Amino acid sequence: MGSTVTALDLDLDADLAAERQHLATSRAALAQMRQRAEALFSTGDQVAGDAYAAETLGRTLARRVAELADDPTTPLFFGRLDFGPATGAPPADDDRPGDPDDGTDGWHADHAGRRYHVGRRHVTDDRGEPLVLDWRAPVSRSFYRASARDPQGVAVRRRFGFSNGTLTSFEDERLDRGEELGTASRILTAEIERPRVGPMRDIVATIQPEQDELVRADLADSICVQGAPGTGKTAVGLHRAAYLLYLHRERLRRSGVLIVGPNRTFLSYIAAVLPALGEVEVEQATVEDLVARVPVRAVDDPAVAAVKHDARMAEVLRRAVDAYIGEPAEPIMVSDGSFRWRIGLDPLHRVVEETRRERLPYATGRERVRARVVALLQRQAEARRAESPSDAWLRRMGKATPVTAFLDAVWPALTPEGLVHALLGDPQRLAAAADGLLDAEEQARLRGLATPAGAADPTAVGATEPARASARRPAPAGTKLGRTPKATKWTAADAVLIDEAAGLIERPGGFGHVVVDEAQDLSPMQCRVIARRSEHGSITLLGDLAQGTAPWAAADWRDSLRHLGKPDAVVVPLTVGFRVPAAVVAFANRLLPALAVDVPPAESLRRDGALDVRTVDDLAAATVAEVRAALAFDGSVAVIAADDAVGDLRAALDAAGVDTATVDEPAATARVTVVPATLVKGLEYDHVIVVEPAAIVAAEPRGLHRLYVVLTRAVSRLAVLHARPLPAPLG
């Protein structure tokens, strides 16, 4: 084709120029909104009535300023909706014009003939007219859900292409003429094929309809998303958090939203997504962070950890707490000036029994018993003195030595650490609590006495590779019980038990919504950690049973949901992959039959990408050569190997003059990261070089699952280098 300029080209140029103008106007308006917020912030203390009000206002305004930050490299809007003229009557079961638009209708008469730009946040001009609509606004929903079959009143959907914040192109779908691009959209393709660098980005511009359905699920709904690698589970969870915060701002600001991820590396990888969407107040934590009441200074043998993470421990602990509640043995006598009050054994029995039946948190129960004893004293005093005692009298009675002594005898004060310390340190106490739940061998393991099952000599001829690998690691020492809880060296599993105990003793505070990523790896007891924090809220559970690498990894989401206290949550599959190219998915999927999980197969949207599986003699030299070749392309490069091979590979790359980073240095400028296999879950890199799969598999009991995770990290290219034979399913 020649370069004849057609009328259509001129139209397109004019359109593009107009859109650029709208972008410039919107940016200027956002800058003004921010300036106004900053001006309010600096004068906030003058308008607020008192110091407290000034502080609250200051915080609100500071947040507003942060929310209005404009990142010149991210587009302020990414789409446009042109609603057609209102025609015909609305369907009978639908909203009427003028009804509040809840976004669930197919009738948009209120929007007929209007045009909206859809972006990351609302931007209005100085008269309050919208220049950009937040992607979470009800009307923006049509940007994600309208289709040729159900246009929802939209005549044209326009998507914009950007390069470094500059608007470079657009793509129209005339839904009113039955045109729809779906996943054939050039702009979607460019976005998913974009070379990855740095931390995770939001996907607001290209959320797909089945993802949007999850993102916009009701706050009351708990959902579980089962999705193959790269189907956007993490993205969906983060966008759901942002969406719920938008819709229920005040409520969730009070109760809070929590994101739980598998480790710090992952949390720092996703940390920038919510702030980029204007959400700066979401707490992100690992389960270890949530249970960090005690420092972890010891490591359990896997067989011991398995018992501590078992759901039966919840009942053991509950019984252990109950066992502290005793029977009253003698009456209470309190001297009160010239009076002496006496409460006999019968009423005391009734008080304890009644309180026990209420099944309150233990510490609340203790205070309830105290209050009931004081009430009995009060009744006697009133009968004798014919007047109501003062509050000070009630407080004094509550603290009277005989009352406290009674409480200490029948309902002693208890700390979570103290409870677990006593349970692990006292065989009789443990035997009583575990009777019929844990066998003698399991009880011995809890007390650190039993030889862990299967702990044959790891160096013996014929010992399995996992046994040899674990022999290279320092032997786990288990809990080192000191004389007091403080002097005890606790393990990570102990911290979970202590959190369970805390939940029995005190009523924990909860979040309005909790998003749990990589949830397939949670043990039943870890699920309960989260259940306690979402008892009155909802959860979004994200994971892939095929990627379960923990010894207690879930085999069925129903079990996890039960432990999470949300047995009725729906399990929704996501099956379209946005990360891993089809050829790489096909290679990794060869492992699936060996993983013993029932998961729906996923299909990749990506037809591009390259897979190269090679036998090599010298792994280090081949890795260096492969990294050099990868650096010729754009994007990030990761070398992934068994944990104990990482040091040598990094040294080889350093020696060859290749600058490398570790996963713990997210700000590092090096494009090459050397990643231990156990830390790569949830992450992605443009070009992935997997070194010696057999060693990755051999390093741990669920090594094949680990390898499946490792092989599904590549966005564009995967090279697999091996000196030993490939694990059977891949060979």
**Distance (Å, whole) CA 346 – CA 262:** 53
- Between 216 and 233, whose beta carbon lies closer to ligand ATP? 233
Residue 640: φ, ψ to 5° = -115, 130
Is 656 labelled as part of a ligand binding site? no
Select from 158, 233, 264, 372 the one that contacts ligand ATP (CB under 6 A). Answer: 233
Q: How far apart are CA 197 and CA 17, in angstroms?
A: 30
- Of 430 and 638, the one with the shorter C-beta distance to ligand ATP is 638
Determine contact, residues 670/198, Cβ cutoff 8 Å: no
Shortest reach from residue 243's CB to ligand ATP, in Å:
14
Q: Which is nearer to ligand ATP, 269 or 341 (CB)?
A: 269
Task: Please indicate if the annotation marks 49 as binding a ligand.
Answer: no
Q: How many CA atoms lie within 13 A of 437 on its CB side?
A: 21
Judged by beta carbon, residue 397 or residue 585, the one nearer ligand ATP is 585
Residues 606-645 interacting with ligand ATP (rule: CB under 6 A) = none
458 vs 573 by CB, closer to ligand ATP:
573
Helices 312-322 + 524-533 axis angle, to 10: 60
Q: How far is the CB of 570 from ligand ATP (least distance, A)?
A: 18
Instruction: Specify the stretch interacting with ligand ATP by CB under 6 A; choose among 26-34, 231-239, 408-416, 422-430.
Output: 231-239
Q: Write the binding mask 684 to 713 for ligand ATP: x where contact by CB under 6 A, - elsewhere.
A: x---------------------------x-
Shortest Å, Cβ 631 to ligand ATP: 21
227 marked ligand binding residue: yes
Among 140, 226, 231, 534, binds ligand ATP (CB under 6 A): 231
**Shortest distance, CB of residue 547 to ligand ATP, whole angstroms?**
6
Nearer residue to ligand ATP within complex by CB, 153 or 229 = 229
Which C-beta is closer to ligand ATP: that of 418 or that of 682? 682
> Nearer to ligand ATP by C-beta: 199 or 476?
199
Residue that the structure tokens 């051999």 belong to = 698
Q: Which of 23, 235, 531, 564 binds ligand ATP (CB under 6 A)?
A: 235
Q: Which is nearer to ligand ATP, 72 or 198 (CB)?
A: 198
Q: How far is the CB of 273 from ligand ATP (least distance, A)?
A: 9
Smallest gap from residue 518 Cβ to ligand ATP (A): 7
Q: Does 230 bind ligand ATP (CB under 6 A)?
A: yes
Min dist. Cβ of residue 53 to ligand ATP (A): 41
CA gyration radius for the chain?
A: 31
**In sequence order, what are the residues at sequence separation of 6 or more whose Cβ sits closer than 8 angstroms to the Cβ of residue 527?**
560, 563, 564
Q: DSSP letter for 131, please.
A: E
Provide the residue count of the chain.
731
H-helix or E-strand spanning residue 717:
strand 714-722
Alpha carbon separation from 110 to 131, 247, 565, 722 (Å, rounded): 17, 20, 41, 62
Closest residue to ligand ATP, judged by C-beta, is 232
| CA angle 27–28–30, rounded 5-degree value | 65
Tokens 């007390």 belong to 447
> And the tokens for 458?
């790891």
The count of residues interacting with ligand ATP (CB under 6 A) is 22
Q: Quick one: 137 or 599, whose CB is closer to ligand ATP?
A: 599
| Distant-in-sequence, close-in-space partners of 166: CB < 8 Å, separation ≥ 6 | none
* Residues 30, 27: Cα–Cα separation, whole Å: 5
Smallest gap from Cβ 528 to ligand ATP, in A, equals 23
By CB under 6 A, what part of segment 495-554 binds ligand ATP?
A: 544, 547
Please list, residue by residue across 236-272, b when 16 or more beta carbons sit within 10 angstroms of its beta carbon and e when fewer do.
bbbbbbbbbbbbbeeebeebbbbbbbbbbbbbbbbbe
Q: What are phi and psi of 47, to 5 degrees?
A: -85, -25
Binding of ligand ATP at residue 488 (CB under 6 A)?
no
Site string for ligand ATP, 566-605 (x = CB under 6 A): ------------xx--------------------------
In which element (H, E) is residue 662 found? strand 660-662
For residue 215, the surrounding DSSP H or E stretch is helix 209-215
400 is in an annotated binding site: no
Stretch that binds ligand ATP, among 29-37, 229-237, 467-475, 562-570 (CB under 6 A): 229-237
Of 75, 103, 119, 229, the residue at the interface with ligand ATP (CB under 6 A) is: 229
Q: Give me the helices (H) in 309-344, please.
A: 312-322
The whole-angstrom separation of Cα 55 and Cα 229 is: 45
CA angle 566, 571, 572 (to 5 degrees): 140
Q: In whole angstroms, what is the distance from residue 587 CA to residue 31 CA?
A: 49
User: Using CB under 6 A, which residues numbered 168 to 227 contact ligand ATP?
Assistant: 191-192, 203, 206-208, 211, 227
The response to whether 74 counts as a known ligand-binding position is no
- Residue 229 labeled ligand binder: yes
Query: Which of residues 78 and 341 has its CB atom nearest to ligand ATP in the complex?
Result: 78
Phi, psi (rounded to 5 degrees) for 118: -110, 130
Cβ-in-10-Å burial (0-12, 13-18, 19+) of 433 comes to buried
Whichever of 145 and 445 has its CB closer to ligand ATP, that residue is 145
The interface mask with ligand ATP, positions 80-119, x = CB under 6 A, is ----------------------------------------
Task: Output the smallest distance, CB 144 to ligand ATP, in A.
Answer: 9
232 binds ligand ATP (CB under 6 A): yes
Q: Measured from the CB of residue 572, what is the shortest distance to ligand ATP in angstroms?
A: 13
Q: Report the DSSP beta bridge partners of residue 80.
A: 117, 158
What CA–CA distance (Å, rounded) separates 337 from 138? 69
Of positions 151, 682, 693, 727, contacts ligand ATP by CB under 6 A: 682
Whether residue 234 is annotated as binding a ligand: the answer is yes
Closest approach of Cβ 588 to ligand ATP, in Å?
11
Rounded to a whole number of angstroms, the minimum distance from the CB of residue 673 to ligand ATP is 16
Specify the residue, 187 or 316, whose C-beta has the smaller distance to ligand ATP.
187
233 labelled ligand-binding? yes
Nearer to ligand ATP, 163 or 464 (CB): 163
What are the residues whose beta carbons fall under 8 Å from the beta carbon of 515, sequence distance 6 or more?
237, 238, 240, 241, 257, 258, 259, 260, 539, 540, 542
**Residue 623 identity:** T
* Among the listed residues 181, 270, 271, the one whose alpha carbon sits nearest the alpha carbon of residue 234: 270
Are 663 and 683 within 8 A, CB to CB?
A: yes
d(CA 687, CA 332): 75
71 vs 382 by CB, closer to ligand ATP: 71
Query: Residue 529 is inside which H or E element, if any?
Result: helix 524-533
Q: What is the 3-state secondary structure (H, E, C) of 368-420?
A: HHHHHHHHHHHHHHHHHHCCCCCHHHHHHHHHCHHHHHHHHHHCCCCCHHHHH
Residues making contact with ligand ATP (CB under 6 A): 191-192, 203, 206-208, 211, 227, 229-235, 544, 547, 578-579, 682, 684, 712
Q: Pick out the residues of the known binding site for ATP.
A: 227-234
Q: Pick out the residues of the known binding site.
A: 227-234
